[in-house]
Amino acid sequence: MKTLKTLLTSVSIGLLLGSQAMAAGTVIDFSNVQAFAVDADTVQINNIRVDVEVPAPFGGRGQIVTVYYDAPFDFDPLTLHLVPNAAGITSANNPDANCANLQVVVSNAVDGTLISNAAVSIGEQNAVTSRDGSVKFTKLPTGSREVRVASDNYAGISRPVELVCGDNNTVAFNLNPTAGTQALAANDVRVVLDLLRL
């Protein structure tokens, strides 16, 4: 994570603050960020802390206001820098206001049978699916989060999921078997169209 922090300190962070010049006393902290690739040219970086000093209107000491940002960064091949994509930046004054719940359903990509005891993780939370192939996470932060799923005899998978406040976050993962007649051979591709069974 230290390498990520060093790299990002050279990024043009002004976009995080609405493309305005940063005030003196502004601190940008990458020490507790979570980052993952969205695609070949974009990295999602969540939980960027920005401390801004707001001057007192009648003199005296000002106040430090802390805002947390989740931001997609696009790779610029000309400058070899990560540049914040202003259109995708979200912020929250209170990172502890975790209001999103997520249900994950895991099934076999070949025949649709539900997979129990699959390991599912999102951020620091880990759980296993029940007999009905599902698991529910609660009190998650909103924004784009990476969900990882793995199970014995299946190829693991991960992908970003966009979370919003409430219970209306559900995602299905279809795992490919790694052995037997259902396993994919080299260079094979399997497309699964799935209607979520809830």
Residue 19, pLDDT score: 40
- pLDDT score at 137: 93
The fold adopted by the segment(s) 100-175 is Immunoglobulin-like (2.60.40)
Mean pLDDT rounded to a whole number for the chain: 77
Mean pLDDT, to the nearest integer, of 79-97? 76
Q: Is pLDDT at 52 greater than 70 in this prediction?
A: yes
**140-179 confidence digits (pLDDT tens):** 877 778 999 999 988 899 998 887 777 778 899 988 888 7
CB 81 within 8 A of CB 150: no
- pLDDT (tens digit per residue) in 70-81: 888 999 889 888
